[in-house]
Amino acid sequence: FLYFSETHGISFRIQISVKELLDTDVLLKLLFHLPVNYPSTLPDISVNSDQLTRAQCMDVKDKLLEQAKKRLSEPMVHDLILWVQQHLKDVIKQSAAVCNEKTTLSKGTEDGIWMLLLHLDHMRAKAKYVKTVEKWASNLKLTGRLMFMGKIILILLQGDRSSIKEYLILQKTSKVDVDSSGKKCKEKMMSVLCETEVQSQHKRFQTFEIKEYSTLEELQKEFETAGLKTLFSGFVLPLFK
């Protein structure tokens, strides 16, 4: 239990591991808040997972609340946990289907070449950080660019979808930088700007290179040369505004 109080009820966190489609384990962190008059009132639920997108976590939460409504006035937390273990696959499949309707770009195929665009907030230990990124890209056979333009740091990667996913995990879980006191730390200020399948109009990068740009035009040209004009205008340009 996290905490218990007469007026606010109980909150607790549960971690469960669920076998997902590709037999990778998805670790779900569920936070339940049970109001004082639970179970005649629905619990508050929040869902987090490093392996799922924010949208998928929201879908899981919505589905859990739907299930909770069906069980109103009976203790339900245990049932909800069992339910999510059995149905997570279906929720994620549905979530992917909806996502595919929204973006014709991502077909959800595992065998195509995928592209990932990341934005980093800063690099304190730049030389070491750059070496680490180069090493990961080379080990995972990813091509692309590590781009510096003023304070903006972007990583653009292309490769197998599984390698892209593995790269993301490394980037989030490894101690890649140092904090203000010089201690090694994980990357906490990274945002995924775009993750999509490479289309025929996109040029493939042959190598992974580190580049510094002195003007926005230079950076724009790099994207346009690679057939990524829309990626630039949709995701990169807003960073400079």
Claim to verify: residue 39 and residue 139 sit in the same structural domain: no
pLDDT (tens digit per residue) in 9-66 = 788 888 888 876 555 678 889 998 888 888 888 889 999 888 888 888 988 999 999 9
pLDDT at 136: 95
pLDDT at 3: 56
**Contact of 30 with 11, CB cutoff 8 Å:** no
Q: Is residue 106 part of a domain?
A: no
Claim to verify: residue 187 and residue 128 sit in the same structural domain: yes
Q: Is residue 81 part of a domain?
A: yes
Q: Is residue 103 part of a domain?
A: no
CA distance linking residue 86 with residue 55, whole number of Å = 19
pLDDT at 111: 55
What is the domain extent for residue 119? 113-239
Claim to verify: residue 81 and residue 31 sit in the same structural domain: yes
| 8-state DSSP, 175 | E
Q: Tokens in use for 209?
A: 């290179």
pLDDT (tens digit per residue) in 3-24 = 556 666 788 888 888 876 555 6
pLDDT at 105: 43
pLDDT at 207: 93
Give the pairing of strands 9-19 and 208-213.
unpaired
Q: Domain containing 34 — which CATH number?
A: 3.10.110.10
Cβ neighbours for 165, distance < 8 A, ≥ 6 positions apart: none
Q: Domain containing 120 — which CATH number?
A: 3.30.70.100
What DSSP letter does each residue of 63-102 carry, written as one string? HHHHHHHHTTTS--HHHHHHHHHHHHHHHHHHHHHHHHHH
pLDDT at 230: 85
pLDDT (tens digit per residue) in 127-169 = 999 999 999 999 999 999 999 999 999 999 999 988 999 999 8
The mean pLDDT value for 111-134 works out to 90
CA angle 53-54-56, nearest 5°? 65
Q: Is residue 104 part of a domain?
A: no
First to last CA, the chain: 44
The mean pLDDT value for 118-128 works out to 91
Q: Is residue 56 part of a domain?
A: yes
CA distance linking residue 122 with residue 152, whole number of Å = 8
Q: Is residue 203 part of a domain?
A: yes
Q: Is residue 3 part of a domain?
A: no
pLDDT (tens digit per residue) in 165-217 = 999 989 988 998 888 888 998 888 888 888 888 877 778 889 999 999 999 99
Question: Among all chains, which residue has been given the structure tokens 């489609």?
Answer: 21
Bigger pLDDT: 96 vs 234: 234
Claim to verify: residue 118 and residue 176 sit in the same structural domain: yes
> At residue 101, does pLDDT exceed 60?
no
pLDDT (tens digit per residue) in 78-97 = 999 999 988 888 887 776 66
Q: What domain count does the chain have?
A: 2
Claim to verify: residue 127 and residue 177 sit in the same structural domain: yes
Q: Is residue 163 part of a domain?
A: yes
Domain boundary residue, one of 40, 69, 97: 97
Question: Among all chains, which residue has been given the structure tokens 């997972």?
Answer: 49
Claim to verify: residue 126 and residue 211 sit in the same structural domain: yes
Count other Cβ atoms within 10 Å, centred on residue 163.
Answer: 20
Claim to verify: residue 76 and residue 140 sit in the same structural domain: no
> At residue 114, does pLDDT exceed 50?
yes
